[in-house]
Structure 1
Amino acid sequence: MIEILTPAELVRARAAGALVGDILRTLRERSEAGTNLLDLDAWTREMIDGAGAVSCYVDYAPSFGRGPFGHHVCTSVDDAVLHGLPHDRVLRDGDLLTLDLAVSLDGVVADSAVSFVVGGQASAEDAAMISATERALAAAIAAARPGARVGDLSHAIGTVLREAGYPVSTQFGGHGVGSTMHQDPHVANDGRPGRGYELRPGLLLALEPWVMADTDRLVTDADGWTLRSATGCRTAHSEHTVAITADGAEVLTLPPARG
C-alpha cells in the first residue's frame, strides 16, 4: 500500500514528526554512563503517553521478529544496528548507541533514528561511520523531489556509503509511512537511478541509511529481534521521515526549536 497524504494529513504528519524528533533529542540527552536501556524505554513510554500518541512498536509483530516487540524504542548498542530490544543493560562511556523511534499521532506515523557515542568522546572510526550515514541520508533527501524515482534515492545513499568504504546491505532499508509504520515503496540503501516508484507530492518516506564497519552480514540475537553485525564490528544508523512536496522534500523529524 502507498498512501498520498492530503494537506490536512500533512499538518498532522508535521506534528508527529516534531514529537518524534523531540523525544529522540530528550533520550539522547539522558543517555549517559549509568543509564539503563530499560529506563530509556520507560521514559519513551511516558513521553508518548503524555503527548496522546501511540507507540508503533509495542504490538509490532512482523514475520521476521519474535513478536510482539513489547517496548517503545529500539536501543541498539555497539555491534547491534537494527531492532535493538531494550533489556537490563547499563550504558558506559564510549558505547555507540542507536535510538530508533516510530510514533503515531492523530493517525499519522513518523519514524526516525540517531546514532551517537555515549559520553561524547567518539573515536575517529565511530565518528566517520556515523558521519557517513548522516551524509548518505542528506544525499537521499536532496534527491527526493516530485518526478524522481525511488532508485535515485537508493543510488544516492549507496554512493555515499560505498565511497566512504563501507559494505552496503540492501536489507531493511527505508520505506513509506502514513497511517501505518511500514508501507511501500521500499527504499533500499543502494540501487540504480531512474528505477522504481515515481515520487509524488504528499508521499511520506522514512529514509534510513545504516552500515556496519566491515561486513554487510547480519545475525539475530536469541531475543529474536536485535540484529547485529556478523563480525562483532561497530555500526551506525541515521533516519528521518520526509514529506515529498512540490519543491522537494521537507524533513519532518527534526527536533523543534526550544524557546
Structure 2
Amino acid sequence: MPLAFALLLVLAACTFYESREVAFRPPDQIANVQQVGGARVAAEQYADKAAAKAQFGFDIRGAGLMPVQVVIDNQGPQRFEVVPDQTFLVDASGAYWPLLDRRTAYQRVEGSSEYGTILKGAASSGMWAAAAGALAGAAIGILSGSNVGEAAGKGAAVGAAAGAIYGGTKGATSEEAGRQISHDLANKSLESRVVEPGNLARGFLFFPGEAPNARQLRLQLRDAASGQSYSTVLIF
C-alpha cells in the first residue's frame, strides 16, 4: 500500500494536457453585446485562472496569457476580420494592453514553467498509468482469488496491460502534447480569421498575462472586401 500511495501522490502532482471543447453563448446572451455593421458582437474575459483553465485545459493565465473570447453573429454583408494593431485590452487602472499575434502567444506559453510541467507530465503518464494499473490489478486479484499469490500475479499482469494501454492512448508524449497545445491555440484564436456573412463565429484574442484584470475590450473590425473599419468598446 505505501507504493500505491506514492504512485497516487506522483500522479496527483503531474500536470496533464487534454484538448477540450466547451459551450459558448451567442452575442445576444452576453451583457456587452454591440451592433457592429451588420454583425452582433460580444466578448467575455477570462482573467480568473480557474475559468481560463476550464476553457483551455491548462493554466493559461499562469503561462503568460490573458484570453478574451469574442463571439460574432454576422448577419450583414461584410466579411469581418480583427484589426490587430487597433485592438486593445483595457484594465481597471486604464492601462492599455496590445493584442498578441498567435506566434507570440504560443512562444509565451512555450517559455512558461506551466508548459514545462505539462511536458513532464505527458512524458511520465504512460509509465505511471501502467504502474498504477498493475497495482490495481493485483489488488483485485487478491480480493477475488482463492490462491492469493497466483491471483495477485494475474491481477498485476492484467492491470499492467490495462495501464499501459491507458497510458498509450490517454497520456500523450511530451512532443505530442506540445504539438497539441500549439494546434489548439491556433484553432481557438480569432486573430487572422475572416467571419463570412451569415456565419456565427467565436474565437479568442490573447493579451499579455501581465494584465492584472480586464475592464473593457477596444475592438476594431475591418471588412476584408472593402477595407472599411468598424470600432466598438465592449465593457466587462
Question: Which TM-score applies when normalising by structure 1?
Answer: 0.27
Question: Which TM-score applies when normalising by structure 2?
Answer: 0.29
Structure with greater proportional helix content: 2
Q: Which of the pair has the greater relative contact order for Cα pairs under 8 Å at 6+ separation?
A: 2
The structure having more radius of gyration, on CA atoms, is 2
